[in-house]
Amino acid sequence: MAHRRITGRLVVATHNPGKLEELRFLLAPYGIEAVSAGELGLPEPEETAETFEGNARIKAEAAAHAAQLPAFADDSGLAVDALGGAPGIYSARWAGPGKDFAAAMGKVEEGLKTAGASAPGQRRARFVSALCVAWPDGHLEEFLGTVEGTLVWPPRGDAGFGYDPIFMPQGHARTFGEMTAEEKHGLPPLGLGLSHRARAFLKLSEACLKS
């Protein structure tokens, strides 16, 4: 099936301000008018899938149907090897209804301590991002990106959001929390496309945004 080009107005199916800022940053160079599900007053659908890809699809399809516009959703999270892949799809839920990611990062660290994971090689993790664009007629475009790294403690840096301050990407000496948006998400030729979301977005842009 041929890829479908994204043009005009696009609903970003998130109520998370940090995620919205990152996605708008990625979309801005393509002249896409991005409006969030929160700004449109759309409800948040229940994320019942057991994979990042499945939950991204649920959010994109719900927003596309409600707004009758193409909708772009991301489902992402942190998967820690020593914790059996947790928090995984429950990454946001570990922060609770108050989005307390300081507590969520503490929970990850407690889990690592319980597992006896003290050496860097025992603290391997990856960020995963599944992107889905859904159209009201049912057409879907889906892309996956990952970035490997190591978890540090205590948290470092106050940039980004979520688990960024404890995640140090492979080959780097700073955490995502210590990197600028351009360093973390900047796409070639200006940036490295380093983050999981940027890597998934590179695939999406090649398929659906570039002429």
Q: Which domains does the chain have, with CATH numbers?
A: 9-208 (3.90.950.10)
CA atoms of 114 and 125, how far apart (whole Å): 16
Global pTM value = 0.89
What is the reported pLDDT for 30? 87
What is the reported pLDDT for 125? 98
CA atoms of 8 and 35, how far apart (whole Å): 11
What is the reported pLDDT for 1? 63
What is the reported pLDDT for 71? 96
Q: Which residues are catalytic?
A: 75
Residue pointed to by tokens 């609903």: 11
What is the reported pLDDT for 153? 97
Low-confidence ranges of the chain (pLDDT < 50): none
**Phi/psi zone of residue 60: left (φ > 0), alpha (ψ -120 to 50 degrees), beta?**
alpha
Q: Token pair for residue 12?
A: 């970003």
What is the reported pLDDT for 189? 62
What is the reported pLDDT for 11? 95
